[in-house]
Chain A
Amino acid sequence: EIVLTQSPGTLSLSPGERATLSCRASQSVSSSFLAWYQQRPGQAPRLLIYGASTRATGIPDRFSGSGSGTDFTLTISGLEPEDFAVYYCQQYDTSPPSLTFGPGTIVDIK
């Protein structure tokens, strides 16, 4: 089973600053099968990025994803007030089909 680790656990930043979130896998993950989600308090997770770098429908271009192998990054180029939330990475295994999530990174207001 592939285990995902996210760092930092908490990122304290001010609006307008750049956020860089890391997701590391215990084994190599196909870039096609790495996704990022945002979760605001009291809401369901929302898909931001799939295929490691493709923005989902309606996601602003300040969100970008990159990486390959075992190291992936989510970057928010200039934090807006609504971006302070928890972010999760997720990977998909094809054999057998299964999904696993990272523990999340909290982005809060400094």
Chain B
Amino acid sequence: QLRLQESAPGLVKPSETLSLTCTVSGGSVRSSHFYWGWIRQTPGKGLEWIGNVYYTSSVYYNPSLKSRVTVAMDTSKNQISLTLSSVTAADTAVYYCARQGAQPDARGFLDVWGRGTTVIVSS
């Protein structure tokens, strides 16, 4: 059974860089059938898509975050990662990793999610 597990520092200081990893078990990130991505959730803005990565290393980002975000894949560890630079309190959120279909008849939705991890930006 596919499982996604986020790991995170929990607390990040303002202006620093947030780094998260998502370990995938029960399946391979090196699949042509799926994108792997990040979504965050805040009480104020709800669910916000951050970006995703394909096994070819193609990446796609939310335009509102693009200047600060990097999503990457490590196939040797079966992980995806997220870095978000110059964080502020507005980046305090629950961060989820999730799988998105990439095939023409099964794309555009997130069918498997991690449990999420809370990141607080505070000094």
**Chain A interfacial positions (CB closer than 8 Å to B):** 1, 32-33, 35, 37, 43-47, 50-51, 56, 88, 90-92, 94, 96-104
B64 closest partner in A (C-beta): A1
The answer to whether A92 and B109 have CB atoms under 8 Å apart is yes
Q: Does B34 contact A (CB under 8 A)?
A: no
Q: Contacts A35-B108, A101-B47; is A44 near B60 (CB within 8 Å)?
A: no
- The binding surface of chain A is classed by DSSP as strand
Question: Does B55 make an interface contact (CB < 8 A)?
Answer: no
Q: Mark B90-123, 1 if CB is under 8 A from A, else 0.
A: 0000001010100000111111011110000000
What's the least CB distance linking B74 to chain A, in Å? 21
User: Cβ of A45: which chain B residues have Cβ within 8 Å of it?
Assistant: 47, 96, 110, 113
In the complex, A47 Cα to B110 Cα: how many Å? 7
Q: Looking at the complex, which one of B98, B108, B113, B114 makes contact with A92 (CB distance below 8 Å)?
A: B108
Give the interface SS of chain B, mostly helix, strand, loop or mixed: strand
Number of A-B contacts (CB under 8 A): 61
Give the residue name and chain of the A residue nearest to B6 (CB): A44
Which of B48, B63, B107, B114 is within 8 Å of A101, CB to CB?
B48
Residues of B within 8 A of A90 (CB): 47, 109-110
Write the residues of chain B forming the contact surface with A, with a CB cutoff of 8 angstroms: 39, 46-49, 52, 60, 62-63, 96, 98, 100, 106-111, 113-116
Q: Which residue of chain A has the shortest Cβ distance to B59 in the bound complex?
A: A97
Q: Which of B46, B60, B106, B109 has the most CB of A within 10 A?
A: B109
Given the complex, which residues of A lie within 8 Å of B113, measured CB to CB?
44-46
Q: What 4 pairs between A and B have smallest CB-CB spacing?
A: A92-B108, A35-B109, A44-B113, A101-B47
Q: A97's closest neighbor in chain B, by CB?
A: B60
Query: Per a CB cutoff under 8 Å, which of A44, A92, A99 touches B116?
Result: A44
- Within the complex, the shortest CB–CB distance from A88 to chain B, in Å, comes to 6
Contact residue among A51, A97, A101 (Cβ-Cβ distance under 8 Å from B46)? A101
A-B residue pairs in contact (CB < 8 Å), sample of 25:
A1-B63, A33-B107, A33-B108, A35-B108, A35-B110, A43-B115, A45-B96, A45-B110, A46-B113, A50-B106, A50-B108, A50-B109, A56-B111, A90-B109, A90-B110, A91-B108, A92-B107, A92-B109, A96-B60, A97-B52, A97-B60, A98-B49, A99-B39, A99-B49, A101-B49
